[in-house]
Structure 1
Amino acid sequence: MDLPHLGDAPRRYPDFCLSISARLIRTLTDVLTSACSGREENLVISVGSGSGLLEAHMQSLWSSSPGCNLTIEGVEVRTAGQARPVNRYLSEEHYTTVRGTFEVSPRAREASALMFVYPREPVLIQRYLQAAREDEDSPLRTVVWLGPKADWDTFDECLQGVPGFGSVEIPGDCGVVEYEMMAVLTRLPLS
């Protein structure tokens, strides 16, 4: 499916929760590039990618940027039997499914970054962070949360005080509408 053109002003799309813009794609690219520097390849896992609209725009920019070492995969809950798949924009190689919100994608073990867009429950983020903590060799460097400001108090707690990570940063003017926000958690440098 063809990607809709993005301008700098955030816009809502009927098949995606988050408002998105070209500025948001650039901001995410900057955040992920700086957090994941020093590695040859960096996999970004977007948990709950839905239609894949945001992720497809990110992959489109990254694949056309010489020297960019980021790639993204969307993860979504499998649809039942005859139901139409939720993903509409990501190619098959950039999309995986899990059995339910209780399951952590096995691909997360290889992720340099995790991205959560409008997650429903903090426990999902906690499961992914716990899996990374249990893996001594985890390449995880950053976690990005995107959602409504009204939900932030519910999710803030699960991103605070994560062992090995710094304080949560909230970038301003990141390319979403005024009632949405981005939060970024970055791993501290190894001493």
Structure 2
Amino acid sequence: MEPPRLSDTPRRYPDFCLSISTRLTWTLTNILTSACSRPNAPNYNLILSIGSGSGLLEAHLQSLWSSRQSNNLCIEGVEVRTAEEAPPVNRYLSEEQYTTVRGTFEISPRLKGASALIFVYPREPGLIHRYLQAAGRDMTSPLRAVVWLGPKADWDSFAECLRDVPGFGPVEIPTNVTCGLVEYEMMGLIRRLPLPGLPGS
């Protein structure tokens, strides 16, 4: 299905919880491109969006990235099922662009190859904690950045998950005007720190 067109003004869509805009897609693109740029960086950086729902944001990101000549980002959605009999909610991503996990307790096996994680309106802090724990145990993990998008009212519950993550810098909070969200939503993110003596590593 073709996703609805976006504008520079953030707005909500019936099948997606987050307000999105062209500014948001460009902000995420710049953040992820910067985080994944380093010496000996791979030609392909997998961005994993956990709880992708209808896939609206992910479809717009992939469309933008595919239009750029120097792009090395590719996104996949992970649908988190709420019940075994629940029907799939993905509408905008092809079968190759998304996978499904049985619930918030299950980690996507695609985490092993992910350069960045995006969480949009996650249901519980434990979900982020489990992904970061799993990535932390994997010494070969290519993870470079983690982005949280959700309501400001939920931030206090989720902020702790992103603080003091080994190997990552402090939490960054771009302004709503900068990142293209409505007033009551926000973005929080962390990026991997360079290794000593290897700038941008």
Q: Common fold, TM-score beyond 0.5?
A: yes
What is the match of residue 100 of structure 2?
Answer: 97
Deviations 1:107-164 (A, max 9, x none): 0110000000000111000000001100001000000000000100000111101111
Distance 1:33 1:182 in 2: 17
Question: Which of 96, 116, 119 is matched with 1:116 structurally?
Answer: 119
- Checking the alignment, whether the CA contact within 8 Å between 2:50 and 2:80 is kept in structure 1 is no
Pairing partner for 1:185 from 165, 169, 190: 190
Question: How big is the shift at 1:64?
Answer: 1.2
TM-score by length of 1: 0.97
Aligned to 2:169: 166
Looking at structure 1, the residues matched to 97 and 139 of structure 2 have their Cα atoms a distance apart, in angstroms, of 26
Q: Partner amino acid for 1:188?
A: L
Unmatched segments (≥5 aa) in structure 1: none
Structure 2 partner of 1:107: 110
What letter is aligned with 1:52? G
Q: Distance in 2 between matches of 1:115 and 1:177?
A: 18
Q: CA deviation at 1:99?
A: 1.2
Partner of residue 36, structure 2: 36
Look up the SS of the partner of 1:128 in the other structure: helix
Equivalent residue runs for 1:40-189 within 5 Å: 40-78=43-81, 80-81=84-85, 83-172=86-175, 173=177, 174-189=179-194
Whole-Å separation in 2 of the counterparts to 1:2 and 1:44: 21
Distance 1:84 1:104 in 2: 20
Q: Structure 2: which 5+ residue stretches go unaligned?
A: 197-201
Kindly state the Cα deviation for residue 80 of structure 1 after the two structures are TM-superposed. 3.5
Number of residue pairs matched by the alignment: 190
Where does structure 1 differ by over 3 angstroms across 4 or more consecutive aligned residues? 78-81
CA distance in 1, matches of 2:121, 2:186: 10
8 Å CA contact 2:172–2:189 kept in 1: the answer is yes
Q: In the alignment, residue 15 of structure 2 is paired with which amino acid?
A: D
Q: 1:22 aligned to 2:22?
A: yes
Deviation per CA, 1:14-69: give whole Å up to 9, x if none.
00000000000000000000001132211000000000000000001111111100
Tell me the SS of whatever aligns to 2:112: helix
